Structure formats: C-alpha cells, structure tokens
C-alpha cells in the first residue's frame, strides 16, 4: 500500500509541467493545485537534460531527531553547485516533500532547506549528501528520508540606543519605520535585528 502511494506521487510529479510554479495565489490562497505557498525560485524550471530520475519522499528537521519543519522548500544542488531541483512541501502534509531529481550515475547532491518568512527566509544547509541512483525510490510516508539542518540565527539583539537612524529600518510588513518605537523584529540595513 505504501509503495502504491509513493508511485502515485512520483507519477503525479512526472506528469506536472516543467514550468515554474504560480507566483500569485488564487482566491483560496493556493499558489497552484497542490501547494499553499510561493516558491523561493519562481524562474526555475526542472532541467530535462537527463532522461533518468530518482525519487525521494523527504522530511526536513532541525537537528538530529529534532523538530520537523513545516511548510518549507528544498533546493537540491549537484556537485558543481548548480540547482538541479527544487520542491515545496505538500499542501496537505506540509512536513513532507517529494523530490524528483534528474541526473546520471555518479552525480552527488546536497540540499538547502528554505522556510519561514518569504521576504527574508531562513536558509540552512542539510547535513546529508547523497548520490544519484537511477529510478531509485527513497522514503515512505511512515519512514521518510530525513534532511537535517542546524538552525543558526542571524538575528542580533540590540538596545534602542544602538539602532542606527541612517541605515533604513523596516517592519516585517516592509513598511519603512523612522525609529522603532516598540520591541520586536525589524530589518535594519538589510539585516534582521531584534529591538529590545
């Protein structure tokens, strides 16, 4: 039964067009028929250079045996650093993601996990690396292939007196703020800053 579900998912993704996903939500907030979030790579198209593919049902988590990330995206890079595939977590099961990676024997891959705020998302490297195996199916809904990332925060904590006035300060809605009047997270000089 589990293999039947995986094969159905694989055939679904093979049948999907290679064009980029929708960049605007519909009236129900969906970005296309299957996903409820925009992609971090709106111009990406699945390369068709390789006839062979391998399939992974993955789950992203923070730390070994750590918390599963929900509503995320995975970018798969090859040994040359080229983006080979990207996929979003599923709308229904937003902690699972299907990767359909095209390539040839000998290709090596590493991944990045993209999650959180879409204006300034958190992007972390997964610790796992894996090689290409033609028509291989890895992971099930009960036992997915885990991609593990280590959360590293670039948020700095500063006092109100340390916030520079000339650097440009924006709230999380993208609105310019002359001077932060309350504590919270702001974008100052292009960096995330927590104001006490």
Phi and psi based region of residue 50 (left: phi greater than 0; alpha: psi -120 to 50; beta: remaining)? beta
Contacts of 159-165 with C-beta under 8 Å, sequence gap 24+, read 159/195, 159/196, 160/195, 160/196, 163/188, 163/193, 163/195, 164/188, 164/189
Confidence at 8, pLDDT banded by 50, 70, 90: very low
Contact 94, 135 (CB under 8 A): no
Q: What's the pLDDT tens digit per position in 158-186?
A: 444 454 444 577 776 677 777 777 777 77
Residue 122 has pLDDT above 60, yes or no: yes
Are the beta carbons of 84 and 101 closer than 8 angstroms? yes
Q: Round the average pLDDT of the chain to a whole number and report it.
A: 76
For 44-99, what is each residue's pLDDT tens digit?
887 788 999 999 999 999 988 888 998 899 999 999 999 999 988 887 788 999 99
Check if the beta carbon of residue 32 is closer than 8 Å to that of residue 22: yes
> Would the pTM of this model clear 0.85, i.e. be above it?
no
- Tokens 């006035």, residue located: 165
Domains, the chain, in order of start with CATH, read: 2-149 (2.60.40.10), 156-195 (no CATH)
Q: Which long-range contacts does 77-84 make (Cβ < 8 Å, 24+ apart)?
A: 77/109, 77/110, 77/111, 77/112, 78/103, 78/107, 78/108, 78/109, 79/107, 79/108, 79/109, 83/41, 83/44, 84/47, 84/109
> What's the pLDDT band for 7 if we cut at 50, 70, 90?
very low
Confidence of residue 14 (pLDDT cuts 50, 70, 90): very low
59, 103 Cβ separation under 8 angstroms: no
- 17 pLDDT tier (thresholds 50, 70, 90): very low
Residue 23 clears pLDDT 80, i.e. is over it: no
């Amino acid at each position: 039964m589990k293999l039947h579900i995986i094969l159905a998912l694989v055939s679904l993704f093979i049948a999907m067009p290679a064009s980029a996903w929708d960049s605007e939500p519909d009236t129900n907030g969906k970005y296309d028929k299957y996903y409820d979030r925009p992609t971090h790579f709106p111009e990406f198209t699945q390369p068709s250079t390789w006839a062979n593919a391998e399939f992974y049902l993955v789950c992203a988590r923070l730390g070994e045996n750590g918390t599963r990330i929900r509503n995320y995206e995975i970018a798969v890079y090859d040994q040359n650093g080229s983006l080979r595939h990207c996929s979003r977590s599923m709308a229904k099961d937003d902690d699972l993601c299907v990767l359909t990676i095209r390539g040839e024997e000998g290709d090596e891959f590493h991944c990045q996990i993209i999650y959180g705020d879409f204006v300034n998302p958190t992007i972390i490297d997964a610790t796992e690396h894996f090689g290409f195996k033609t028509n291989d199916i890895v992971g099930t809904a009960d036992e997915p292939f885990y991609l593990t990332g280590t959360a590293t925060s670039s948020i700095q904590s500063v006092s109100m007196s340390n916030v520079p006035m000339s650097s440009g300060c924006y709230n999380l809605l993208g609105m310019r703020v002359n001077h932060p009047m309350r504590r919270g997270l702001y974008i100052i000089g292009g960096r995330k800053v927590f104001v006490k």
